[in-house]
Amino acid sequence: MTNLLDETDIKILNHLQEDGRAQRNTIADIVHLSVPSVSERMRKLEEKGLIINYNAILDAKKFHFDITAFIFVEVDGSERYSDFVERVTEHPEVMECHSITGDGSHILKVRTKNTESLEKFLSLIQTWEGVTRTRSNIVLSTFKETRKLPIENAEDIKK
């Protein structure tokens, strides 16, 4: 595979992971290129699908989403996975949904306002066809939460 990224692209991506709102002239200064060159590189990174989106990360606590929980869900067969995933995507309190091995078939990361709203959501999930079991873990404190990837070199990039 040809290298999809060079050292400058990696610098741009690392800076954008730190500050997605960085102005292109700031990035240009960091990587020692012109603003049009940085803009073109960023456009190509977007076209390649390496940059998916730019968005704000909100402080859940300030919006009174005081409960973060991980819910292990067991769905009784793979023929019901797509229905389960479709239902999950309809609920904004679900931050993440992953198909897993081990204990359960899926794990959900959810944020709710309080334990009462978590309980209601759990009750709802348990009524879905195919869901045979849930097990929940409530987060007491969070020490690290990031979406920043530790990209080092272009050999790690997949098309």
Which residues does residue 94 pair with via DSSP β-bridges, in sequence order? 110
What pLDDT, in 10s, does the model give residues 89-145? 999 999 999 999 988 899 999 999 999 999 999 999 999 999 999 999 999 999 999
**Same structural domain, 37 and 99:** no
Q: Is residue 98 part of a domain?
A: yes
Strand order, beta sheet including 106-112: 94-99, 106-112, 67-75, 131-138
Give the DSSP letter of residue 105. Answer: S
Helix axes 24-31, 35-47, angle to 10 degrees: 100
Which residue range is the domain that position 42 belongs to?
7-56
**Same structural domain, 35 and 90:** no
How many separate domains does the chain show?
A: 2
What is the CATH number for 36? 1.10.10.10
**Same structural domain, 27 and 73:** no
**Same structural domain, 33 and 88:** no
pTM to 2 decimal places? 0.85
**Same structural domain, 40 and 67:** no
Give percent above pLDDT 90 in the chain.
83
At 33, is the pLDDT very low, low, confident or very high (cuts 50, 70, 90)? Answer: very high
Which residues does residue 107 pair with via DSSP β-bridges, in sequence order? 72, 98
Q: Which whole-number Å values give the CA distances from 11 to 57, 67, 146, in the listed order?
A: 21, 36, 18
Q: Is residue 20 part of a domain?
A: yes
Q: Which whole-number Å values give the CA distances from 157 to 4, 17, 49, in the listed order?
A: 7, 16, 11
Q: Is residue 106 part of a domain?
A: yes
Q: Residue 79's pLDDT is what?
A: 87
